[in-house]
Amino acid sequence: MSSRALVLFSGGQDSTTCLAWALDRFDHVETLGFDYGQRHRVELDCRATLRRALAAMKPAWRARLGEDHTIEVGAIAQVAQSALTQDMAIEMAEDGMPNTFVPGRNLIFLTFAAALAYRRGLRHIVGGMCETDFSGYPDCRDDTMKAMQVALNLGMNQRFVLETPLMWIDKAQTWRLAEELGGTALVDLIQQETHTCYLGERGALHAWGHGCGHCPACQLRADGFARYAAARSS
């Protein structure tokens, strides 16, 4: 069980980098996606393509990549009035939180992930939570993850390890990590096949990937890629 992992895999840039990171160090890696009625549901369609491409990248990665799981948590849309699940403009709310915030979303995801990991005998739970590029989501903070690890281990009588390889790096460094793990082939795959845009727009292929180019997720991704590319060419 010690070298078996479950990756929270949405099909976005961060979770794809996390999946490559996990394939690089664990013997057996399974993936988990959540369907919660998100507007950017297109990201779920990217997952199979990305899994196939990652498996084709290195023989060791092919040998390690295990089952894919999807859990429907449509109830999130019932309790959360969020721009992620409803057709409304993405903006900052009065309490300073972006209205893309779904309260406690990652707490819910991690609880389901741990329950699945328990059943599948997977010790490491890997997620792309990040505190560096401040997005205003308190359920992405390092302290939240550490508290969740304690709560899940107590509540399920396990020794899960919550792994967050992106916690202290910024978006430019996330691109660099992908390059370290899988060279330019992985960078190109992430650029072309992962989905980040909150509005679910695929649209034209920009240097940083597909997306509307205006929503906060697209802006963060575009800015990170520009800094990564500038550092690479200097």
Q: Which of 163, 229, 173, 196 is closest to 13 using CA atoms?
A: 196
Q: Which lies closer to Zn ion via its Cβ, residue 178 or residue 218?
A: 218
Is position 84 an interface residue for Zn ion (rule: CB under 5 A)? no
Q: Which lies closer to Zn ion via its Cβ, residue 45 or residue 180?
A: 45
For residues 167 to 206, the per-residue mask of contacts with Zn ion, x marking binding by CB under 5 A and - elsewhere, is: ------------------------------x---------
C-alpha–C-alpha distance, residues 144 and 178, integer Å? 25
Q: Which lies closer to Zn ion via its Cβ, residue 165 or residue 211?
A: 211
Question: Quick one: 142 exposed, middle or buried, by C-beta within 10 A (0-12, 13-18, 19+)?
Answer: middle
Q: How far is the CB of 92 from Zn ion (least distance, A)?
A: 16
Is position 211 an interface residue for Zn ion (rule: CB under 5 A)? yes
Q: Are strands 28-35 and 65-72 parallel, antiparallel or unpaired?
A: parallel
Q: How far is the CB of 42 from Zn ion (least distance, A)?
A: 11
List the one residue from 131, 218, 221, 228 that touches Zn ion (CB under 5 A): 218
Stretch near Zn ion under the rule CB under 5 A, chosen from 14-22, 34-42, 135-143, 207-215: 207-215
C-alpha–C-alpha distance, residues 140 and 148, integer Å? 11
Q: Which lies closer to Zn ion via its Cβ, residue 55 or residue 226?
A: 226
Q: How far is the CB of 40 from Zn ion (least distance, A)?
A: 8
Is position 212 an interface residue for Zn ion (rule: CB under 5 A)? yes
Q: Which lies closer to Zn ion via its Cβ, residue 187 or residue 218?
A: 218
Is position 215 an interface residue for Zn ion (rule: CB under 5 A)? yes
Residues in contact with Zn ion, counted by CB under 5 A, come to a total of 5
Q: How far is the CB of 15 from Zn ion (least distance, A)?
A: 17
Q: How far is the CB of 39 from Zn ion (least distance, A)?
A: 10
Q: How far is the CB of 212 from Zn ion (least distance, A)?
A: 3
Maximum separation of any 2 CA atoms in the chain, in Å: 50
By CB under 5 A, name the binding residues for Zn ion: 197, 211-212, 215, 218
